[in-house]
Structure 1
Amino acid sequence: MPARVNHALQDGLSGLRRAAVRSGLALAGVQAATLATLTLMSELRKRREGPHEGFPWEEQPEVEVESGGSSLKLFPYGVRLYEEMLSEIASAQDHIFLETFIWKGDELGRRFVEALARKAREGVDVYVIFDGFANLVVPAKFKRFPKEIKTLHFRPFDHPVSLVDPRNVFRDHRKILCVDGRVGFVGGYNIGGLYARSWRDTHLRVRGEEVCELENAFIDFWNTHKTGALPPIKPGRERSWRPEILLRRNDPYLRIFPIRAMYLEAIDRANHHIYLTHAYFVPDRAFKAGLIEAASRGVDVQILLPEHSNHVTADWLARRHFYELLAAGVRIFRYKDLMIHTKTATIDGVWSTVGTANIDRFSMLGNYEINLEIYSRRFAAQMERMFELDKTNAEELTLEAWEQRPLPAKAVERTLASLSPLV
């Protein structure tokens, strides 16, 4: 090839690369400006409307799983949940394991610290874990728990090196409380006064052999990530092999992500109905295809989402999936007036899951998450009742209404579409 032609090709390729870089930077700038505007509008809306309290919920009795002797109780209301958790902490005789994503330094947060410190001073072994990054805005003074409480701040960004450590992308999004190996709690509730009355969430209390599985998940995490002089925890009693309640945990350190596979398998097996309730819904291609395929074979697929969540970016990224889902016959309901933060599903009156994982890339393929997979018709009946009650505070989104949304909204969705793999 003549040198002149070769130089011309190289110059052309260099020009294309420069144009691509400029286009990418321009798109990133537009996306950043769009997100800033959406965030500002969301904050103004929240200030204008103020906090909402009150939503439909009902107390459901503890239910015993058909075989195995374990029992489960749903908590859809934070006030009741927190009082039950504090009561169990107060009755602890041997050990307490508490892990949470967010731990607010408000009155409720202080009540938990004081309750834990009191038991630790009585000789109970108290171990707590909370995510360092999620609690950056919490006052440092609050996070200095009494020395009697063995505390693991999971990978806070407390050093410049932390900012460039790729492992710090993954957050500990789990919420677990276990007391004495006899009772465990897991679900979507963080610790904070905001969540007690103004958020609709779901937690689950577990009694039976499966508590050992929750404890084992905590112990594994603690022993893997403990720092400094923190002591290891010796594993407790024998593990459970009962198939009615299975613990699924995503662990990016071990590169295992069974929660996504659990959902895909359950959706694929659905014969009659699929009811999903999620705070953030940004499905990947396979997940969305599974729902569409289920709807195409006659399965009643219903998804309940917040009309406005606390993360406006997730809301707008979810919107780009609505048309395809609605066109396939999937029904979408949007919860009104306040945040619904629950992460639950129930299928065919048999299968259910309650846990911490959202339907987005962070939860499915990134963060430390934990869900219980439950095979029980009794429990599924309660989950269905809870879903129908939640729908009384939701408005169904129809395909016709979605097609008539304003042109600027469609433009924003297209602008942000490329961000989906990041959320």
Structure 2
Amino acid sequence: MPDPSAPGDGPDAADVPVPAIERLFRDEYGRCVAVLVGTFGDIDIAEEAVQEAFTTALDRWPDAGVPPAPAGWIITTARNRAVDRLRREASRGNRHAQAGLLTAPGEPAEEGPVQDDRLRLMFTCCHPALSTAAQVALTLRLLGGLTTVELARAFLVPEPTMAQRLVRAKAKIREARIPYRVPADSDLPERVRSVLAVVYLVFNEGYAAGSGDRLVREDLCAEAVRLGRLLVELMPDEPEAVGLLALMLLTESRRPARSGPKGALVPLDEQDRGVWDRGLIAEGQDLVRQCLRRGRPGPYQIQAAVNAVHSDAAVAADTDWQQVLRLYDQLLAVAPGPVVALNRAVAVAEVAGPGQALALLDELELDGYYVFHAVRADLLRRLGRVAEAATAYEAAAALTDNRAEQDFLRHRRDALPQGDRSLSR
């Protein structure tokens, strides 16, 4: 049998660009880690082995070419690295390493697990022994492949704080011997809230990437939708799982219109609705109707209903903003919070005018959130307060690391009337 860690001679056998390997990392990191956790029962061993495998790929593939099944190559190489490490440590009397070797199968890991390893890993990370913040952060790290920097930005905490949170969460799983499995039906309700939050945050990071040149990370959007479908299949009677899937499908339906030919951001009211995905809209709206018939509204279902209203409008001017505002009133009652209040203020601006909406924003404490400043800038622009609007646009641009969003916000700033804007420079 040939050495499975040797590079293959696939069709891309020359000058493999590093971004292609980085894209594979984004696409497959979560699955590779999940398979290795299932094999060895240890998150740290799995993560380290997968990272070593990708480092080896970066070293070999640019010269030797991409193997025919790159994800399988990564999984097999990572498994071999993990086994080598455990053998070295077991020879020194490390009982943990000896136990890991006992759980490792004798044959190489298959590329496609029989059952869904990512779903099992998700429920492992969302065990009630962990805090909610740790559950979400760890799952995003392991399944979404988000870096510590990206997680820190998503949670609005310093990077060292996030790093410690991840270390403590993994240690808790190891020390408490939290099992790697989908829990029994009786245990599902207490775990579902965190699991849904994880899927939602993965989708959000994909739909509005927190950093980089790309506005959207299609890999994360696809993974979140896939996991959402699995959760609905697993828990068909959980209305919030259905609501989350509907929310993601309706939002994803707009992605083809959300960026221009050169990747520029196109806001909702300027999008070409003719290129929205009508199939996803029909599926999402059908799920919203299912939720309405159940009569057990929750945050994801209400947000899905908001997006269903938007999808009903053939052009932006046809949007039923009164209905959107009523839904945000309901959402604010069910899940109060400053971000919900910010979104409600956008609807208020369309119904009652920018002045009333701006007064609502002035009551919110979201100074570190770039969307807050972007919304505020738009309201100030509509009120003719040009200098303040320019300052707010710049504040918003400074708080996002996504190049497309920065370009959009600064373009809006530069398009303001050329009056006295000295205060904003």
- TM bracket, shorter-chain basis: under 0.3
Of Structure 1 and Structure 2, the greater helix share is in: 2
Relative contact order, higher structure (CA 8 A, sep 6+): 1
> Which structure's residues are more often strand, by fraction?
1
